Amino acid sequence: MARPLHAQINLSALCANLARARAAAPGAKVLAVVKANAYGHGLARVLPALADADGLALVELDAACLLREQLYTRRILLIEGYFEERELPEISQRRLATVVHSEDQAAMLERATLPRPLEVFVKVNTGMNRLGFSPSAVAGVCERLGRSPSVAAIRLMTHLARADEDDGIAEPLAVFESACRGLPYPRSIANSAGVFRYAEIGGEFVRPGIMLWGATPFPYDTAEMLGLRPVMTLRSEIIAIQTLRANDGVGYGASYTASQPHRLGVVACGYADGYPRHAPNGTPVLVCGRKVRMAGRVSMDLITVDLTDVPEARVGSPVVLWGEGLPVDDVAAAASTVGYELLCALAPRVRVVATDVGPIDLEL
């Protein structure tokens, strides 16, 4: 029998989450963010479930080209743009849209001679201070790019640093507004957190990422409260059971010691599968549908859990590391990280099983 660890990808949940994004941002074009191999879910695998998106947005040029080879015909946006001038002809041939976030990128575009002009999203720095033109430079950049034969259409975009905080959007939106005043171009501002605040944020294009995968972009509102369904469920089984006596240690460094006798379940999943090594004792795991506590350090191939509350657990009992029944956000919180990191880190050695796009459940 094969090692029981596998990630189940629920494509109908993905369809439902996409519908949720569309409903939250009525009238906006939805560019589904699929960077990092669709947040770890496998881009080729999830593509059929994204058929209702108006386009895709990602960072990786090679993945974008592959999408065109698979005859994906809608808009594809490169959200970091390009890194070298020699990428531009391929971007043009493949009809990819691109972000332009810096003077260097703008200059490359102006120097290039392209088979066909590009759709360009000019990125404004509204306080994230990573990528983007300073607000005062935006009008000038748009004017220059508008004259360039390499540019077919201009859009304005920004990425909000604190869209998940109640008081996090007013100031950057005011900065964006003043940078773009009088510029007649369509806009794109909202990530997942922004999609849920679309009424305040607006824009012709939205860029939901994490919400599509059924995790929350917010620190307080859970995915369930937001009407999102988990897409990835990481499943395994108990592959061995130990009976601990009081004071027995478990695993490397004996970071867990039993305070009383109990059974311990050994689960086939470790950090080489993408499970976070820094998840501490007490991190939730589901065994037979019941929540139990991790006991002992995460190792490369295994984790160990306290089976005190699941007397029926046996070798072969089902385990959920995250997904249906155990939000990835809860595991992430226990491990002091975010759902994004856990999903993206799913390791290549984990077998992935996609379930079909069933009837789309539009109960929102």
Ligand X SMILES: *Cc1c(COP(=O)(O)O)cnc(C)c1O
Which residues here bind ligand X, judged by CB under 6 A? 33, 35, 79, 159, 191-192, 207-210, 217
- Which of 47, 57 has the CB closer to ligand X? 57
CB of 15 to ligand X, least distance (A): 17
Q: What DSSP element (H or E) covers 184? A: none
Distance CA 364, CA 362 (A): 6
- Catalytic one among 35, 82, 275, 340? 35
- Catalytic one among 39, 198, 252, 256? 252
CB of 158 to ligand X, least distance (A): 9
- Which of 209, 327 has the CB closer to ligand X? 209
Residue nearest to ligand X (CB): 209
- Is 291 among the residues known to form the active site? no
- Cα R_g (the chain), whole angstroms: 23
- Which of 208, 265 has the CB closer to ligand X? 208
CB of 318 to ligand X, least distance (A): 29
- Which of 33, 232 has the CB closer to ligand X? 33
CB of 208 to ligand X, least distance (A): 5
- Is 35 among the residues known to form the active site? yes
**SS3 of residue 236 by DSSP:** strand
CB of 102 to ligand X, least distance (A): 14
Question: In Å, how far are 76, 94, 98, 135, 152 from 117, measured between CA atoms?
Answer: 15, 11, 11, 25, 5
Question: In Å, how far are 19, 70, 176 from 170, measured between CA atoms?
Answer: 27, 41, 10
Alpha helices in the chain (DSSP H): 11-24, 35-39, 43-46, 61-69, 88-93, 103-111, 138-147, 170-180, 192-195, 198-201, 328-334, 339-344
Tokens of 71: 């005859």
Q: Which residues does the annotation mark as catalytic? A: 35, 252
